[in-house]
Amino acid sequence: MAQSGRERHRDRDPGRRRDEADWPAADRVFRITDAQRQQVAKCLRFIDEARRALEHQERPDNREIIRELRASADTIFDLLNDLEETDS
């Protein structure tokens, strides 16, 4: 896959914390296009497919990973559905 040149979350130093001054304002407004929304949906489907693959393995070691995958996907889905629409 081609590199976009942007730093990905997984490429950052683990455990690095932001200073309070570095946090973005909480009242920012974002726009998401239908194409971006579809991309997020595609990623959520990949998460669900990975979760189902782990479930089929029926290994006790995977239970926590399965729970976290399900909770993460559900949280992302809920956050997207709860976004407020902007008029402009």
Closest to 51 measured CA to CA, from 28, 32, 68, 31 = 68
Give the relative orientation of helices 34-57 and 63-81 as an angle to the nearest 10 degrees: 160
Whether pTM > 0.85 for this model: the answer is no
What are the boundaries of each domain within the chain?
Answer: 48-83
The tens place of each residue's pLDDT in the chain, 88 residues long, gives 455 666 655 555 555 555 666 777 777 777 888 898 889 889 999 999 999 999 999 898 899 999 999 999 889 888 887 776 666 5
